[in-house]
Structure 1
Amino acid sequence: MLHALQVNYPNPYRAMEAAEVKAVMDRVFAYLDATTPAELVDQRSGKPIARLDKAEPDAVLKPGDFRLTSYEWGVTYAGMLAAGAATGDARYTDYTVKRHRLLADLTRLYYPGVQADPAGAHAPIKSFLNPHALDDAGALCMSFLKAKNMGAKVDYGQMIGICGTFVTEKEYRLKDGTLARGGPDGKGGRKMRPLPDTLWLDDMFMGVPTIALMGKHTGNAKYYDDAVKQVLQFSRRMFNRDLGIYMHGFVEGMRDHPELHWARANGWAIMAMVEVLEVLPKNHKGYEAVVDQLRAHARGLAKYQDKDGMWHQLIDRSDSYLETSATAIYTYAIARAVNRGYLDKEMYGPMANLAWNAVAGKVNAKGEIEGICVGTGMAFDPAFYYYRPTSTRAAHGYGPLLLAGAEIIEMNRKFKFGANDSGFMYQGDR
């Protein structure tokens, strides 16, 4: 009976109960709720500004551990909404609605001044009111549209007008319409981030879900067409079909490209696809092509999952460190794809549970998440990615963990997973 000997797995080798998953999420919630105040203060005195009835020139958002208008916090707002829906705990939903309401009030007060003087006007949320990149607008816009679709009692019209217009009409694109960086700098030159006409895989998420959601918001099918086009054109340039994973960067006009398969960017790509499919009509001519691309990517990622459930910073280089935010994003996207029937529950359900259990182990007693790679541009060499620091203050992992936990709860409600001859497997629908 040696096959039945006790195995010392470093992470739970089973499906967590919903209460266990929520306990992890609750620790994260408590930390974020305490350290991201939704409050305006006077920059000089630090005193609260209680009345939001005029554009105070010295007003700033009360400092916290994270910024309320970063793209990472757009993901966190979406994660809070998902957590509230999955657990029935209104605190999560209220977290997003409270902060969205504050942003809507600040937009109403400060946007006229920013419109009149984009360079000189002061505003506590100026990066959002005068966006210069998808980072400033895309993920936030996604969270606004998701919350509106869920019935949040916030006046989103002005904010969606700002960010939706920027993403769909103002962001730089290549000649074939693909979202890109390295466009004109407004001074007769080109932006060098890092080179002209550069695709960052991250931008599949920073822009494409919002484009698809604008289709639902407006009823105009041109946005659905554009979202599908973005997925397929990014994939045509950047997806390695032999490996089943994406390169991080692509520079239009180069013969060869840096084949560095950064984990979090691959997370943004697969997340973009499940978000697009959430609103794309099933009878859209591009629906099956997006599903096929999602499946190809999931197959590729499955090949590289580490023995304890996580993925490496450079996916196909096992001597690079194990990274938490990417693993959380994969957990969410794969579990969502299982729940929606895009991926086989037998194959991918255990994979998602194993990944969740690993991510849950990265949440410390304070509710901070460990092992998150800090903000990362694109580079042409492996050293850049290998040596990127990790920090609990890297905002990129908090929203993905909440999204992942919510989707794992939903998946394990629908399907039973358990031991079969010592192996962790699908055991039927519930």
Structure 2
Amino acid sequence: MQACSLLTSAMFTGLAMAQEAPPVQEKGPAPADAMLHAQAVHYPNPYRVMESGEVKAVLDRVLSYLDAVTPAELINKNTHAVMAMPAKADPEAVLKPGDFRLTSYEWGVTYAGMLAAGAATGDHRYTDYTVKRHQLLSDLARVYAPAVQADKQNAQAPIKGLLNPHALDDAGALCMSFLQAKNAGIKVDYGQLVGICGAFVTEKEYRLKDGTLARGGPDAEGRIRQRPLADTLWLDDMFMGIPTIALMGKATGNSKYYDDAARQVLQFSRRMFNPQLGIYMHGYVEGMRDHPEMHWARANGWALMAMVELLEVLPKNHKDYKAVEAQLRAHANGLAKFQDKDGLWHQLIDRPDSYLETSASAIYTYAIARAVNRGYLDKEMFGPMANLAWNAVAAKVNAKGEVEGVCVGTGMAFDPAFYYYRPVSTRAAHGYGPVLLAGAEIIAMNRKYKFGLNDSGLMYQGPR
């Protein structure tokens, strides 16, 4: 056994040496082309691994910006005076407005990103950001949930959409962040929040006959919502539903949630994954014969992230574990074919004349780096790809801490113009959580594995 290990080590060493450019053996004056391969290359983004401190500096800018523009306070909606938490439901109380909403699905991702950044850097300010706002939401749920449940139509509450969800967007990503925080030992009472949001995702959201999460059907209160057509699948909903369903399995010990979460991956993929391209279409309408394929980047990110989050808690002996892992690998390999030369991906992945989009690229960076760290993907291939992507994403965080190049909120369509001309904005909340998650996971990956230049190329160089 020891001899085998030594042989393997020797082979690895020999391979590493073989990758180096051999020394020139000829004697005499050097020809003009002798050192052309060693010329300095002017990459638009750094072609190297960022040190942990450099990554944290990017994340720190994001944290400073978001902490300043997302106040965790109540105010009187008429006088705008700051209010303490009321003892009973007060219709005059509202959340103090900032640049972003504290109860959007994008902010569920941001809360998760802050927790990940805190764990990766050891800087409690990131964790505190999430704890402070989760505590506010928990306190508001305690005060306002009884009134909202008693009169869903007329009750007023600062977080009514969270306490009376009507779509996966209202509940899924936020519930994921609550359950992740609870698993991390955060001492906030998540009982009411998880009870309301978890029940909506797992029991009340509309589904197709085979149980696949869908839109364009009756909601929890029987109202028909065409979004945009009856029985429509949005690829986004893999993320809006699957992580919460899987985490409910971990929280309750009930295997039915694991079964449901894995089934969602496989049923979405059966309908929407293009195995030739290795990427997903954005929208699918049950019953249609033809499905125009718009391969929207951010939705593909949500799908990839959903699989990574599911595998984080799905028992390895689950009957569908290997199938989910295989689907993750197929998707990651497909995405690898479309990465732009400077590290990002395009708004429509397979259409290089569409613009480069930051939020999707950040999600891919996070999910691919996490998959490398967990052993789902080969570190030799995907580690350099993730580092290249992170360097490009980091360049999109400006000095103020805003994330540039992020597509605004987007529905689904069956024509390219819709996606090509979606605006980008630093106020598009979708970019902030993914950047935090990506930076945190890149720190973890480069702490675990060494990557560096070998014969001018960025390569895996062994474990740390």
- For the aligned pair, the TM-score class normalised by the smaller chain equals over 0.9
Looking at structure 1, the residues matched to 85 and 338 of structure 2 have their Cα atoms a distance apart, in angstroms, of: 53
State the shift of 1:185 in Å.
6.0
Tell me the residue number matched to 1:415.
449
Looking at structure 2, the residues matched to 190 and 286 of structure 1 have their Cα atoms a distance apart, in angstroms, of: 33
1:157 equivalenced with 2:191 (yes/no): yes
**Contact between 1:356 and 1:404, CA under 8 Å: does it hold in 2?**
yes
1:43 equivalenced with 2:65 (yes/no): no
**Contact between 1:52 and 1:105, CA under 8 Å: does it hold in 2?**
no
Tell me the residue number matched to 2:459.
425
Tell me the residue number matched to 1:203.
237
Larger Rg: 2
Q: Give the counterpart letter for 2:143 in structure 1.
A: L
TM-score between the two structures when normalised by the length of structure 2? 0.92
Q: Give the counterpart letter for 1:389 in structure 2.
A: P
1:390–1:358 distance in 2 versus 1, CA, 3 Å: same
Residue 304 of structure 1: which of 335, 338, 344 is its match? Answer: 338
Looking at structure 1, the residues matched to 282 and 220 of structure 2 have their Cα atoms a distance apart, in angstroms, of: 26
Residue 276 of structure 1: which of 297, 303, 310 is its match? Answer: 310
Tell me the residue number matched to 1:265.
299
**Contact between 2:74 and 2:85, CA under 8 Å: does it hold in 1?**
no
Q: Give the counterpart letter for 2:447 in structure 1.
A: R
1:188–1:21 distance in 2 versus 1, CA, 3 Å: closer
Q: CA RMSD in A?
A: 1.0
Q: Give the counterpart letter for 1:197 in structure 2.
A: D
Question: What SS does structure 1 have at the residue aligned with 2:259?
Answer: helix
Tell me the residue number matched to 1:63.
97
1:404 equivalenced with 2:438 (yes/no): yes
Tell me the residue number matched to 2:112.
78
1:185–1:75 distance in 2 versus 1, CA, 3 Å: closer
Q: Give the counterpart letter for 2:327 in structure 1.
A: Q
**Mapping 1:16-27, distance limit 5 Å:** 16-27=50-61
Question: What SS does structure 2 have at the residue aligned with 1:316?
Answer: coil
Looking at structure 1, the residues matched to 51 and 252 of structure 2 have their Cα atoms a distance apart, in angstroms, of: 39
Looking at structure 2, the residues matched to 37 and 189 of structure 1 have their Cα atoms a distance apart, in angstroms, of: 34
1:51–1:398 distance in 2 versus 1, CA, 3 Å: same
**Mapping 1:2-401, distance limit 5 Å:** 2-184=36-218, 190-401=224-435
1:239–1:17 distance in 2 versus 1, CA, 3 Å: same
**Contact between 2:205 and 2:220, CA under 8 Å: does it hold in 1?**
no
Q: Give the counterpart letter for 1:180 in structure 2.
A: A
State the shift of 1:306 in Å.
0.1
Looking at structure 2, the residues matched to 376 and 170 of structure 1 have their Cα atoms a distance apart, in angstroms, of: 24
State the shift of 1:188 in Å.
7.8
1:152–1:185 distance in 2 versus 1, CA, 3 Å: closer
Looking at structure 1, the residues matched to 303 and 218 of structure 2 have their Cα atoms a distance apart, in angstroms, of: 25
State the shift of 1:312 in Å.
0.0
Question: What SS does structure 2 have at the residue aligned with 1:413?
Answer: helix
Looking at structure 2, the residues matched to 9 and 247 of structure 1 have their Cα atoms a distance apart, in angstroms, of: 32
Q: Deviations over 1:351-408 (max 9, x none)?
A: 0000000000001110000000000000010000000000000000000000000000
State the shift of 1:190 in Å.
3.5
Looking at structure 1, the residues matched to 463 and 347 of structure 2 have their Cα atoms a distance apart, in angstroms, of: 34
